[in-house]
Structure 1
Amino acid sequence: MSKIDHQLFSTHEHALEREPCPECGAALVIRQGKHGPFLGCASYPACDYIRSLTPSSRDIEKVLEGSACPDCGQPLAIKKGRYGLFVGCTQYPACQHMASLQESDDTQIPCPACGKGHLLSRTSRYGKQFYSCNDYPHCKYVVNDKPVAVPCSKCGWGIVVEKRVRGTLRLICPQKKCGHQNEQV
């Protein structure tokens, strides 16, 4: 029969002490939020001090060697955020430089709404592809299906979109009032 080492189960005085709040001196307690547990001041709402339980470098997936932040010159890293992966400065929050991993693809199709910009391929925060005018916020034209630089034969709108309808690829006018369809040859 093995002996139990009672030193493993002994408590120490410092194990029961709570860390004081740096702002008001009250104890910090573990609280639960929508993004997980965090440390918060026990005298909330009088004191609203909070601190994350996880280290801030947890969101860094990979440091990009040989890259430099255009704002501060420090290395850039691939980070994981609320809306997926992105490129950001390793000195965050001191430097707030960010860039998207997905490049927007310029289709060179002129925007039919304003005539000034071109339609760009973009990705929503849910991963769905859409096409919008690069003259945003002046022009807010958006289309969900792939545009084709062919005017509608019925209403004359500047583009039609490719859409698969019942197994066949069709060219459809994106204007709700028109809705003209042609089978693609």
Structure 2
Amino acid sequence: MVGKIDDSLFSAHEHALENEERCPKCGSALVIKHSKRGPFKACTGYPACDFIESLNHNDGHIVKELGMPCPECGNELVLRQGRFGMFIGCSAYPECQHIEKRDQEPEAETMDINCPECRKGKLHEKKSRFGKAFYACDAYPKCKFAVNQKPIKGNCEVCGYPLLLEKKLAAGIVKVCADKKCQHKQGQ
């Protein structure tokens, strides 16, 4: 048996401004609107008044106090939720703008494989913004060569392309021509 759902749960945001909040710029009523960046309060006097206020809380608000002193001013460091995610900063912001940098992974070393496209750069491993490894020419942005599989020194036995890729299949690891037109599988 299905129970009755309380409809007020779905319209809670509509009642957020029931006390008819007023625009601080012109005194007109404020309404809640939605955009791809989330909900916001807007003045009904638009376009004469352009007041808006975000209702998202990704504004650097404090999530947790860390109990450690700021190295610049001595105030406490705090964990904040910002527009681009969590970060550690000084509790005395904006007077002190100290932010702790995340430990960055060391840049992967350049492989001893020449770029088959420009023949000037070397290939090296990089990480995508999603953490997945790929291999690209270090002459970027002049050369935009990149592959997803691990490159191996060698030439294709069919077309002569100067790079092979290590491809993992259910049957094991095989060498494949890096040229998209050829992609010939070679024996070990």
Distance 1:167 1:125, change over 3 A: same
Among candidates 115, 118, 125, match of residue 122 of structure 2: 118
Does residue 1:29 correspond to 2:31, yes or no? yes
Structure 2 segments unaligned to the other structure (5+ residues)? 1-17, 72-76
Whether 1:50 and 2:88 are equivalent positions in the alignment is no
Q: Which residue of 2 aligns with 1:149?
A: 153
Q: In the alignment, which residue of structure 2 is the partner of 1:140? A: 144
| Shift in CA distance, 132/30, structure 1 to aligned 2, threshold 3 Å | same
In structure 2, relative to structure 1, the CA distance for the partners of 1:30 and 1:177 (3 Å cut) is: same
Equivalences for 1:1-185 in 2 at 5 Å? 16-22=19-25, 24-55=26-57, 56-58=59-61, 101=104, 103-108=106-111, 109-184=113-188
Distance (whole Å) between structure 2 residues aligned to residue 139 and residue 131 of structure 1: 13
Q: Is the 8 A contact 1:169 1:183 kept in 2?
A: no
Distance in 1 (CA, whole Å) between partners of 2:114 and 2:121 is 6
Give aligned-pair identity as a percent: 35
CA shift digits 1:92-141 (9 cap, x unpaired): 9xx9x999945542332321111222223233334433222222221111
Say if 1:26 and 1:87 are closer, same or farther in 2 by CA, change over 3 A.
same
Q: Distance in 1 between matches of 2:178 and 2:28?
A: 61
Change (3 A) 1:58 1:174: farther
Q: Deviations over 1:124-172 (max 9, x none)?
A: 3344332222222211111111111223233332221110133310110
How far apart, CA to CA, are the structure 2 residues paired with 1:26 and 1:132?
56
Q: Please give the secondary structure, in 1, of the residue aligned with 2:179.
A: coil
Q: Which amino acid aligns with 2:19?
A: L
Q: Under a length normalisation based on structure 1, what TM-score does the superposition of the two structures give? A: 0.60
Describe the superposition over 1:9-50 as per-residue Cα deviations: whole angstroms up to 9, x where unpaired. Answer: xxxxxx82514144x553332222333322223234554443
Unaligned runs of 5+ residues in structure 1 are: 1-14, 69-74
Query: Which letter does structure 2 place at the counterpart of 1:164?
Result: K
Scaled by the length of structure 2, the TM-score of the pair is 0.59
Q: CA RMSD in A?
A: 4.2
Distance of 1:150 and 1:141 partners within structure 2: 17
C-alpha change, 1:36 and 1:139, in structure 2 (3 Å) is: same
Confirm or deny: 8 A CA contact 2:60 2:82 kept in the other structure. Answer: no
**Between Structure 1 and Structure 2, how many residues are aligned?**
158
Letter in 2 for 1:120: H
User: AA paired with 1:114?
Assistant: C
Is contact 1:145-1:163 (8 Å) kept?
Answer: yes
